Each structure stands twice: as C-alpha cells, then as structure tokens.
Amino acid sequence: MPDGGAAGADDVALDPWGSSTVSDYRKLFEQFGIEQFDQVIDEVPNPHYLMRRGVIFGHRDYRPIADAMRNDEPWAVLSGFMPTGDPHIGHKMVFDEIIWHQQQGGDAYGLIADLEAHSARGLTWDEIDEHARDYVLSLLALGFDPEEGDLYRQSTNREVQDLAFELGIEANFSEFQAIYGFDGETDISHMQSVTTQMADILYPQLDEPKPTVIPVGPDQDPHMRFARDLAERMRFFKVTEAFASFESDPDVYDVVGSAYETLREEADNRDIETIRCGWAAQYLEGGIDAVSWEIDEMPEKKVEESTSGTTPEQEAKNQLREAGKEPLRPRTRFFARQATDEAFDALVEAVDGEKRRYESHVDAFEMDRVEAEELAREIEADHGGYGFIPPSSIYHRFMTGLTGGKMSSSIPASHISLLDDPEEGYDKVRSATTGGRETAEEQREKGGKADECPVYELYAYLLSGDDDEFAKEVYDECVGGERLCGGCKEQAAELMESFLEDHQEKREEWAEKMEDLDFEFDVADGRAGGD
C-alpha cells in the first residue's frame, strides 16, 4: 500500500497514512505543542462526554470555538473520512463529535475523502461509492442534520478543488518532504490529496471567515499544522507589534519592551516626550544612569556577538544602537503580504489615528493589536481576500482493539463495524480481551485493571453514552473487585447488540430517503475503475 514514503523518515513521528499507534500521548504536548483539553474544558458551556472523560485529550486553539459558542457568534465544525472500509466504532467517535458541535450551534460539515482514498489507498471508484454511502448513512443515523449541515465528497466539490489549487501555490515540494516524508516516488495525486484536505479544512470559511474546529485523531495533526500555516500565508496582511522601524523576534521584542517601560517612566519625570532607540541601548548596557538623554549622544554602532550565539539582550542592544536617533515608540504594524496595491491603500486609509506608511507596511500608533487584526481581516474580505482564521482542532484517543493492540479496519475481530450483525457485535464483545485477573478469586481480592481493559473502553467511549454515573460505577466496581469479567462482558455485549440494532434501523430509515439528500452517491460511472 502506498504510504507516501513516510515510514522511512524517522523524524516524522505522526504519519497520516501510516499505522503507528500513539504510545505516549504526553509526547504530543511536548513535541508538537498540542494543548491539554483539560485547560479549556471549563470554557465549554456543555461539554460532551468524550470531553468529560478525557477521550478528547488535546486541542489546538479551541478557545475561539468555545468563545463563539458562548457568545452565539458564527463558527463551524468539519471532519472528513476516507471511505476505505466499513465505518466502525472508532469512526463513531468522530461522527459524534461533528454532531455534538452541530447541536451546539456550529455550521457542520462531513466530507468523504474519496480523492484521498483513490490516490493514497488505491481503492477503486466502485469500492469508494459503496463505502461512501455507508459512512454517510451512519453519520445521519447518529444524528447529523443534513438540512442544517453540509455533506460532500471531495471529487464533486468544485469549490474545494479550486481552493486546493490556490492553496497549492503557497505550498512546495520541500515542505511536503519535511512534513509528510514524501519523496521522488510519491505520486502527484497523493500530493494533490494533501492540498485537497487543506481546502476541506478551510472550506467552511469560504463565504466568511469564522473559527472552525476539526475533530481528528492525533495522526492528522501534521495536516492541522500545515493548514494553520497555509491559512496564515493566504492572508493579505500580517499584523505584528514593534517599537521602531526594525523587526524583532518575540524574546528580543520583550527586552525592548521592558526597556521602553522603564525609560517611559523616567522620561515623563524629566518631561521628555520622545524617547530615542539609542538611549534604550545605553540603558540596557549600563542601567538608567548610563542614559544620555541627549539626541546627539548616541552609543556607537557596534555589533555584539558571543561564541555561544547572540542572546536576546545583545540582539536588542544591536538593533537599538543601529536605530540610534529613531524614536522608540510602541506601534501596531501591518505588513502587506498577499495584498493588492488597492487593498494596501484602502488599509492605510482606514487606519485610525496617527500612522506612518512605508513601502510595504504601515505603522499605527493608536490602535491595539486586536483592533488591528479585525481591520486587516475586514479590508481583506472587502478586497477579494479570504481572511482565513487559523483552523482549530481537537484530538481524541484511539480505541484499543478488542483483541488488544491497535483497533484496525483490516482485523475484523479487533473492531466492531457499524454494519456488523448485532449478534456478531455481541459475540465480539464476549470474546474481547479484558483487564481481568487470572482467577475470580484474585479479581475479588485485587480488583480488575479497568484502565487497561478494552471492554471498559467500550463502556467509557460508547456504551455509557451521556451517563457519567454509569461509567463510573462500572469503573469503581471493576477496580474494587466487585465486578467480574464474565458478567461485565455480558452486560457490555448486550448493550452493544442493542446499540447496533438501533443504529441499523436508523440507517435503513435514512437509506429510504437517500434521493432527497444533496449528495452524489454514484461517481464510479464514467470514471476509470482501478488504481
């Protein structure tokens, strides 16, 4: 199976097309900057049980979503599915995440990644059509509202393809190599499926920029980082903050900022209005007593370096000496990046208060950063730009396979398909691996290992639904030794059986209404079959 060559690249720890399991979720926080979901959960009005139970364990930038939810502002949720096999209980988590966000008031999108399945997995269009139908029916059966939300497939969404093309202008092969481990053997269509996914992720913002959350597994995080980057690159303007004409890295900026604070106070005492950059260099060099307070007494322009690299302090001094007599004054800066001349003119015009225009940036002295960001987005939208807000994401834990190890579509006993006969689902749960002890006696004495038990996971991730008390009861009884695996599995198996019965009934009801749906179920006709 083509995997984009990512398997050979040691530094690609998260591979969207690989089969790696995540052994240590903590690493994701440290290495990739995913934040713990715990940190935002209190800001979510009515958190989903997967959030409450830590199954959704991480996020990127979820705050704007929580804010929009609370303030009743527009926002969206979108996720996509490769139709490579039957939808199973792992996918159900993502379906539920989309549906819950839809119920909380988000514009909801569910998409079938058929171009990706065809190019990266080599499925035929006939197979793809069959699976696409199954995914859509399950999503609907679980509660997705197609009147309010959007269902689409990549291959028939012209707007997504056009957007993918535009985004492709901002992406190049070296990045694909670095992010995905692509190499000279990777086929072009696989690469195209990446820009298509980037377009999927930004598609909810085509009409109007809005916070958008993408619920995914952590393996998709490389896509999220790339999408956030591209969203930024498409922007007309970049808003930054500065104290003078030069640009500083954040830690250098902080050094300059604190020098400014001290000098401002002292200058006010002395009735001096304009502070000079050179004085700040003098201050950083020798303290407040070293400041000349004279425009004609500027420090020498020398560059300080040390063998171990330049410290933020040194860099700040270098920049400030270089700027010399230039006034030191906080300002918000708009850089023109993708902006047309017309848009730049309009922006300069629209900046309130004192401003200074340069060739490709404008400094505003009386606007804070938040106002500036808003203005930049407004001007951009008025002049044909996208104004994308970097998309947010949430990450859920992968379910353990029923046989232990990874839950995989290619190992039927490891997962429960949403299409499995209810009795088959019952049987699979009955034969699942558990976190139980060797003997009933030992179990009563020491308690079961619920934290390592795939059956307990079924309870927590699915069978308890919204009922936290029930989930907790199973857990407590297990670890307390009151619950034995035989009965526990029997209960889980029965719950699974009735879940599947109910789910499949609803699927059938939707199957009868398929013609009314705005979704193209058959694309195989007229397309080349195989891979």
| 488 touches ligand SF4 by CB under 6 A | yes
Instruction: Single out the residue of 53, 435, 499, 503 in contact with ligand SF4 (rule: CB under 6 A).
Output: 435
From CA 209, how far away is CA 390, in angstroms rounded?
A: 9
Closest CA to 288 of 259, 313, 314, 317: 259
Task: Find which of ligand TRP, ligand SF4, none residue 201 binds, CB within 5 to 8 Å per kind.
Answer: ligand TRP
DSSP of 68-102: HHHHT---EEEEEE--SS--BHHHHHHHHHHHHHH
C-alpha to C-alpha distances, 99 to 94, 136, 143, 321, 524, nearest whole angstrom: 9, 13, 6, 57, 28
Task: Find which of ligand SF4, ligand TRP, none residue 450 binds, CB within 5 to 8 Å per kind.
Answer: ligand SF4
From CA 388, how far away is CA 203, in angstroms rounded?
A: 10
Distance of CA 480 to the CA centre of its chain: 38
Name the amino acid, one letter, at 481: G
- DSSP label at residue 461: I
End-to-end CA distance of the chain: 11
**Least gap, CB of 477 to ligand SF4 (angstroms):** 7
Task: Find which of ligand SF4, ligand TRP, none residue 436 binds, CB within 5 to 8 Å per kind.
Answer: ligand SF4
Work out whether the CA dihedral 1, 163, 204, 387 comes out positive or negative.
positive
**Least gap, CB of 216 to ligand TRP (angstroms):** 5
Q: Which CB, 318 or 434, lies closer to ligand SF4?
A: 434
**Cβ proximity of 158 and 199 under 8 Å:** no
**Least gap, CB of 484 to ligand SF4 (angstroms):** 6
Task: Find which of ligand SF4, ligand TRP, none residue 231 binds, CB within 5 to 8 Å per kind.
Answer: none
Parallel, antiparallel, or unpaired: how do β-strands 392-396 and 212-216 relate? Answer: parallel
Segment contacting ligand SF4 (CB under 6 A): 176-184, 203-211, 417-425, 448-456?
A: 448-456
From CA 69, how far away is CA 179, in angstroms rounded?
A: 32
Q: Which CB, 153 or 489, lies closer to ligand TRP?
A: 153
Segment contacting ligand SF4 (CB under 6 A): 174-182, 293-301, 397-405, 434-442?
A: 434-442
| 463 touches ligand SF4 by CB under 6 A | no
Instruction: Single out the residue of 448, 460, 500, 507 in contact with ligand SF4 (rule: CB under 6 A).
Output: 448
Task: Find which of ligand TRP, ligand SF4, none residue 79 binds, CB within 5 to 8 Å per kind.
Answer: ligand TRP
**Least gap, CB of 478 to ligand SF4 (angstroms):** 3
Q: How many CA atoms lie within 13 A of 440 on its CB side?
A: 7
Q: Residue 415 has which token pair?
A: 């997962």
| 485 touches ligand SF4 by CB under 6 A | yes
Q: Residue 298 has which token pair?
A: 């500027």
| 471 touches ligand SF4 by CB under 6 A | no
**Least gap, CB of 224 to ligand TRP (angstroms):** 9
| 429 touches ligand SF4 by CB under 6 A | no
Q: Residue 153 has which token pair?
A: 């497939």
Cβ-closest position to ligand TRP: 80
Beta bridge partners of 239: 334
Interacting residues toward ligand TRP by CB under 6 A: 16, 78-82, 111, 113, 116, 197, 200-201, 214, 216, 220
Instruction: Single out the residue of 190, 377, 483, 507 in contact with ligand SF4 (rule: CB under 6 A).
Output: 483
Q: Which CB, 115 or 284, lies closer to ligand TRP?
A: 115
| 101 touches ligand SF4 by CB under 6 A | no
Element (H, E) at 396: strand 392-396
**Cβ proximity of 222 and 179 under 8 Å:** yes
State the residues that interact with ligand SF4 by CB under 6 A.
434-436, 448-450, 453, 455-456, 478, 483, 485, 488-489
